[in-house]
Chain A
Amino acid sequence: MGRLARGTIALAVAAAGVAAGRALPVRRRRSWPRVSGADPRPARWQVVTVAGPPEAVLPGGRWPEPLRRLDGAVELHARPAPGGRGTELAARPLGDSPPLPGLAAHLVGDDPGLLIREALRAAKQLTETGEVLRADRSRLDRPGAAG
């Protein structure tokens, strides 16, 4: 099995329903944890800033949806954002196989970073607005609805 397929499964298994009951500590340090020299994972974190204090973003210290479904596949950290902007929420993939590098991953649609970023954005929207904004359906989505 190639690197591409392994990366896909790592996230897909986690998304299939690992319940997340772990409490998440809120960090105070200035930088996100760095990988060790032997760690093959990329050091790049995906980060969003969520309007709201850490206790609203992580109620009871629990992961917000849909990140909760990625428990076991990603590591997650949070810290207060400067200037009262809310909470910085950071995630990156776990796993022992490095993902494909950026361009190749973009071309084949298998960049875990993109999936994680999408999940972070959704978690942010859910916290801030209560829902994830959906696009209007196009004609192609409903081909029988009208000519």
Chain B
Amino acid sequence: MRALCWEGVDELAVRRVPDPELRNAHDMIVRVRRSATCGADLPLLAGRVPFLAAGDVLGHEFLGEVVEVGPAVRRHRVGDRVVVCAAVACGACWFCRQGLFACCDNGSTGAAAAESAWGQPTGGCYGHPGPLGGFAGSHAEYVRVPYADVGAFTVPEAVSDDRAVFASDAAPTGWMGAELGEVGPGDVVAIWGAGAVGQLTARAAVLRGADRVIVIDGYDDRLRMVDRHVGAEPLNYRYVDIPAELRERSGGRGPDVCVEAVGMEPEPPGLLAGRLGGGGADQSLAVREAVHTCRKGGTVVVLGTWTGFVDTFPLGAVLNKALTVRGARQHGQRWIPMLLDRMARDELRTEHLATHRLPLERGADGYALFRDRTDGCVRAVFSP
């Protein structure tokens, strides 16, 4: 089959690779119809992630059609149109039973390396190397889906491929951001980052009844989407003093919930220039600003993946302001059925996020657009 493979730092190419095969009884094989780029891929693309090898297939946010099921699969049949949660989880361990699917004990094939990195193994993810999965990515004609009954969900007929593909990762990540912040009626919510996750966090906050939802970014085209599609207030940090503006818009209190949805960038070009738009990797300026502006007793939620070691973090502000700081990779299995229902009811629209729909052969171009945010690219979505 054809697949988009990582060939080296900033090098991608479509190659012929072996078809996936059933490796466990709970597996199924899906023919991919849509597969989206994601900010979590950028450190992989830049070669910043150990264990990634030339020839590995990228991609984890996808939708497709079931073509083969393992003997232990009960919920799916050949021909089903399914969206697959980017997080691989068993559904049976204690963490999965608590709804903490991204913390699954059995979702990765590289538990030993993950233990070394984080202290305990975490759930897996498609298109990530062993410690974070060990499963081929979805930028391919076919993909193997482990624990298929847990991670794959039949898409309602009323929901298009272009909408449902974001139920795989961006939409549940956004919903989780609002849920971790316990966003509810009366809240003022500030979100750093107007990419797909930031927009869908904002939409989740709106749907949960927040009084004001404010999204911060440096790209006007993305902020126009926030205004048009999300129903939230855009703020461009290039033009306004964000802490002062947030203080003013929240009656001097500071936002009740602050969400970092910027993600981490490959290389920080400079402390200020790198902010949100072009870098800022482990400086985490957005988190620092969120901590600074959040109201006393409020909650700061960190959604950006690949956060490693962050120094000069304002821990004193966390203490003195009695903040709660939370973070997670998404537990999508918890929310995907609900999100698909909301998509079917038109409460949650996502297709505008797919600014560039491309054939798989143009995968390298798609990632260049996405990485550099050129041509208004929010997400490139491939059709193999």
Contacts and interface: CB of A to CB of B under 8 A. Distances in A.
B17 interface: yes
Contacts of B9: none
Interface range on chain A (Cβ under 8 Å from partner): 20 to 34
A100 to B, nearest CB: 17
Contact of A128 (B17, B56, B92, B111): B92
Interface residues of B, number: 34
A147 to B, nearest CB: 6
A75 interface: no
A136 B17 contact: no
Contacts of B112: 114, 117-118
A14 interface: no
Interface stretch (B22-30, B252-260, B319-327, B341-349): B22-30
A124 B106 contact: yes
Interface in B3-27: 15-18, 20-21, 23-26
Nearest to B115: A117
A135 B134 contact: yes
A34 interface: no
Interface in A101-119: 114, 117-118
Contacts of B25: 130-131
Nearest to A85: B94
Most chain A C-beta atoms within 10 Å of own C-beta, residue among B20, B90, B97:
B90
Contacts of A136: 20, 23, 134-136, 144
A20 B130 CA distance: 32
Interface stretch (A3-11, A61-69, A138-146): A138-146
Contacts of A132: 24
Contacts of B16: 146-147
Contacts of A147: 15-16
Given A128-B93, A130-B72, A139 B106 contact: no
A115 to B, nearest CB: 11
A131 B26 contact: yes
A86 interface: yes
A94 interface: no
Of all A-B residue pairs in the complex, the 7 with the closest CB atoms, nearest first, are A135-B134, A145-B18, A135-B109, A134-B23, A128-B92, A136-B136, A139-B55
Given A51-B93, A135-B109, 4 more contacts: A129-B93, A129-B106, A130-B25, A135-B135
7 contacts: A51-B93, A128-B90, A129-B26, A129-B92, A133-B107, A138-B56, A147-B15
Interface of A: 49, 51, 85-86, 114, 117-118, 121, 124-125, 128-140, 142, 145-147
